[in-house]
């Protein structure tokens, strides 16, 4: 299909589902559907993946392409992507394997390390495993304090604890492991927290970096802080030395390519006092409301939200041509 014809494609915007991030995904879906309309798309429908009629509606709706505006379990982890592969329907953002690897934080970290992207030292615990006293001691010896305990699979700071004392570790593992999750125990990295959006397919580009300022009463960028008004917590462009800024953008592009991301990614880093960006994770479907981090950053780079969403569809169709 000609690129100039991209708006003639009928688009199913997939949102909702069953993850902890369901409501955020619905917000992303509504915003993207509206933006696609503004970009000139004639046929755009918002489908909630948790709707019992979702699959027949998707199959029978005459759609040319799916716009996946989903976060977390089932939507960002390769599940919905697998369904779309089986239906031979092109879709926005990353494919099955990339989505699955990016979701499981320690798999992603091993890919990052092999590409030379610095990561925090950590260990993965099997699902349901609560460390005894001896294991707690050895984890604390290995990783130091404070340390972070989080579910191995991705998602909006749910289940994360910052652990200051060895005696808090077992409870933190219990919290992160709720729902049968594997758990990651990770050395705490001190420094400036940033997030780096990247857009594109084979020749991706980094967008302006956003610095995340957590405020005085929060220990880290937790769930509560994440959903407070963004102007309280975001500084763009991030206040970094130019060479560190450029290094972080380069590493984010490398993370995008290393995982094989398509269309978009947003990598979270902590920049240490000596200017070393340490990657925490790469989100393959970052928040997509008009005021979310990636759209905000794209706007600062001169790409308005409707244009950004149009490009996402273009990149989805480009992938199909490969
Ligand atoms: N190793 C770490 N060192 C310091 N802060 C961390 C570490 N791991 C997580 N955090 C804090 O927790 C937040 C969420 O962690 P992250 O790994 O990005 O998971 P999520 O998928 O929930 O966003 C980060 O934005 C950061 O503030
Ligand atoms: Mg994060």
The tens digit of pLDDT for each residue in 202-224 reads 999 999 999 999 877 778 777 77
143, HSE (Cβ side, Cα atoms, 13 Å)? 29
d(CA 35, CA 23): 18
User: Most distant CA pair in the chain: distance in Å?
Assistant: 63
What predicted TM-score, i.e. pTM, was given to this entire model? 0.95
Decide if 248 contacts 277 (C-beta within 8 A): yes
Atom of ligand 1 at shortest range from CA of 221: 27
CB atoms within 10 A of CB 302: 7
Of the candidate CATH numbers 3.40.50.20, 3.40.50.300, 3.40.50.970, 3.40.50.880, the domain formed by 3-92 belongs to 3.40.50.20
Residues bordering ligand 2, an ion, CB closer than 5 Å = 268
Which DSSP helix (H) or strand (E) runs through 148?
A: strand 147-151
Nearest to 151 by CA among 182, 125, 196: 182
Closest C-alpha to ligand 1, atom 9: 148
Query: In the β-sheet with 147-151, what is the strand arrangement from edge to edge?
Result: 122-125, 183-187, 147-151, 161-163
CATH class of 122-187: alpha beta
**268 Cα nearest atom in ligand 1:** 18
Which CATH class, in words, describes the domain spanning 101-118+189-284?
alpha beta
Quote the CA–CA distance of 4 and 169 in Å, as a whole number: 56
Domain(s) labelled CATH 3.40.50.20 in the chain stretch across 3-92
**Residue 23 pLDDT:** 92
pLDDT computed for residue 230 by the predictor:
73
Q: Compute how many other C-beta atoms are within 10 angstroms of the C-beta atom of residue 23.
A: 12
Q: What is the pLDDT of residue 47?
A: 98
In this structure, which residue's CA is closest to atom 13 in ligand 1? 221
Distance 144 CA to ligand 2 centre (A): 21
List residues near ligand 1 (CB under 6 A).
120, 148, 150, 154-157, 160, 186-189, 193, 220-221, 268, 270, 280-281
Q: Give me the tens of pLDDT residue by residue for the chain, a chain 322 residues long.
A: 444 689 999 999 999 998 888 999 999 999 999 999 999 999 999 999 999 999 999 999 999 999 999 998 899 999 999 999 999 999 999 999 999 999 999 999 999 999 999 999 999 999 899 999 999 999 999 999 999 999 998 666 678 999 999 999 999 999 999 877 899 999 999 999 999 999 999 999 999 999 999 877 778 777 777 767 777 789 999 999 999 999 999 999 999 999 999 999 999 999 999 999 999 999 999 999 988 999 999 999 999 999 999 999 999 999 655 4
* CA–centroid distance, residue 40 to ligand 2 (Å): 33
Residues designated as active site? 21, 156, 227, 266, 268, 281, 283, 287
Is 321 exposed, middle or buried, given 0-12, 13-18 or 19+ CB atoms closer than 10 A?
Answer: exposed
Q: For residue 157, report the distance from its CA to the centre of ligand 2, in Å.
A: 7
Ligand nearest to the CA of 221: 1
* C-alpha to C-alpha distance for 310 and 1, rounded to whole angstroms: 14
Give the relative orientation of helices 133-143 and 169-176 as an angle to the nearest 10 degrees: 90
Residues of the chain with CATH 3.30.470.20: 101-118+189-284
Q: Which ligand is nearest to the CA of 155?
A: 1
Distance 55 CA to ligand 2 centre (A): 30
Residues carrying CATH 3.30.1490.20, the chain: 122-187
pLDDT given for residue 167 in this prediction:
97
């Amino acid at each position: 299909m000609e690129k100039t014809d991209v708006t003639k494609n009928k688009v199913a915007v997939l949102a909702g589902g069953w993850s902890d991030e369901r409501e955020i995904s619905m917000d992303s879906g509504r915003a993207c559907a509206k933006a696609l309309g503004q970009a000139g798309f004639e046929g755009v429908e918002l489908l909630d993946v948790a709707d019992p009629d979702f699959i027949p509606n998707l199959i029978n709706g005459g759609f040319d392409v799916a716009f996946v505006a989903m976060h977390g379990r089932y939507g960002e982890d390769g599940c919905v992507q697998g369904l779309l592969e089986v239906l031979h329907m092109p879709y926005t953002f990353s494919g099955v394997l990339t989505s699955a690897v990016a979701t499981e934080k320690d798999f992603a970290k091993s890919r990052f390390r092999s590409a030379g992207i610095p990561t925090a030292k950590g260990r993965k615990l099997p699902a349901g495993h609560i460390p005894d006293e001896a294991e707690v001691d050895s984890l604390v010896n290995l990783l130091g304090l404070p340390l972070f305990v989080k579910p191995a699979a991705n998602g909006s700071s749910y289940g994360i604890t910052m652990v200051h004392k060895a005696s808090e570790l077992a409870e933190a593992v219990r919290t992160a492991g709720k729902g049968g999750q594997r758990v990651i125990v990770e050395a705490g990295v001190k420094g400036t927290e940033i997030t780096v959006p990247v857009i594109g397919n084979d020749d991706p580009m980094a967008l302006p970096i956003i610095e995340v300022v957590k405020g005085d009463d929060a220990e880290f960028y937790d769930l509560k802080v994440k959903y407070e008004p963004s102007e309280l917590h975001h500084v763009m462009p991030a206040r970094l030395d130019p060479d560190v800024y450029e290094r972080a953008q380069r590493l984010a592009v490398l993370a995008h390519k290393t995982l094989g991301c398509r269309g978009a990614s947003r990598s979270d880093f902590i920049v240490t006092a000596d200017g070393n960006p340490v990657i925490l994770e790469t989100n393959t479907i970052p928040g997509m409301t008009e005021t979310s981090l990636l759209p905000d950053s794209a706007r600062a780079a001169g790409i308005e939200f409707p244009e950004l969403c149009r490009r996402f569809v273009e990149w989805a169709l480009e992938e199909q041509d490969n």
